[in-house]
Amino acid sequence: MLKPLLHFKVLDLSRILAGPFATQLLADLGAEVFKIEPPAGDPSRGWGPPFEYGEQGESAYFRCANRGKRSLVMDLADSDQRSRLVDLIKQADVLVENFLPESAEKLELTWDRLHAKHPKLILASIRGFASDVPASRRAGYDFIVQAESGWMSLTGEREGRPMKVGVALADVLAALYTANGIQAALLHRERTGEAIHVEVPLMEAALSGLVNVGAGTLMTGQSPERFGNGHPNIVPYQSFACADGEVAIGVGNDRQFEVLTLWLGLDLDAAPQWRQNRGRVLDRKRLIDWLEECFAQRTAADVLTFCEAHAIPASPVRTVDDVLFRQAGILHHLIKTLFDEETGGMVPVLASPILLNDERVCAKLPPPRWKSK
């Protein structure tokens, strides 16, 4: 397997998800990652169930973000332990942390202090809010950021309550931006010899994830509505309840819509505004009501068969266990199993979706087992 980041050493002082997920990606790409944990361990080790052995063992939460690392336990409140950390920093290329600003200052892990003593060290800091805004001292949690960033106002049924996304997606976005920023910093140092500070605020990672919705708000000055499973700019582009299950359909162009409506028995001459997406968006409710009535009279299999035959994007609405187990090898090859030397067993993980020379990158080491020191 290719290891583009081989020989780079990373110290991971981050906890929970965003930082660990970023350093896991670096490990997948070949970096040597040391996870520095406090005496009580990364808090996510206790976040469950599910745990590996019922009520005990490794948590799924910790497992999802820590493969490819070696764990070192350090009490950074202890001066001798901080001296040990300094020795590691001297050998490292990158240090990743997500402390509150005052904690980073107390531990002397700010950019100014580190850069003065270790000019070749790249520092990556994940914060709740950017260091140049009044909210900079606030802690950052995915759920809070989803509320603050407007994500929750966009998620859920039109008449329902605002809802968070089903996974900690703001953390995941911040992790991907952090890994990308670190790799850019490594390239910059290779070219110039200069180390730089990478900072990724969760809030701004979430705002960047607003993409077309954010662009639309900037363009119009108006807050967008919630559309449930619908799309603000494309119609029809949502799930429909068939006679025996839900089907997601994404009509990407006017020709696809015309083919679909011919099958469903709609005469577009009676509603010519629906021939173009613009008209369908403006007349959304009437069109969706009609489509829902049509799909309710057909089976999911009939709808999916027709859509596949006519190149209209569609899918059953799957459960997570269905897609991970029954669709493995059909829709994806993302599940990998890693050998755990401590237990002699195999650890299933979801690899990185990055393919290098047709091979998905995935560090060989399973997440480090907890050994209280």
Query: Catalytic residues, which ones?
Result: 171
CB 101 within 8 A of CB 111: no
Three-point CA angle 247, 312, 274, nearest 5°: 90
- Which of 150, 285, 131 is closest to 224 using CA atoms? 150
- Which of 155, 151, 148, 107 is closest to 130 using CA atoms? 148
The pair of three-digit structure tokens given for residue 321, joined into one six-digit string: 């266990």
Count how many Cα atoms sit within 13 Å of the Cα of residue 67 in the half-sphere of its side chain.
25
For tokens 């993980």, what's the residue?
349
One-letter amino acid at 151 equals: W
Long-range contacts of 265-274 (CB under 8 A, 24+ apart): 265/294, 266/290, 266/294
CB 196 within 8 A of CB 185: yes
CB 76 within 8 A of CB 83: no
Q: How far apart are CA 295 and CA 90, in angstroms?
A: 64
The pair of three-digit structure tokens given for residue 215, joined into one six-digit string: 């662009």
- Which of 4, 26, 207 is closest to 124 using CA atoms? 26
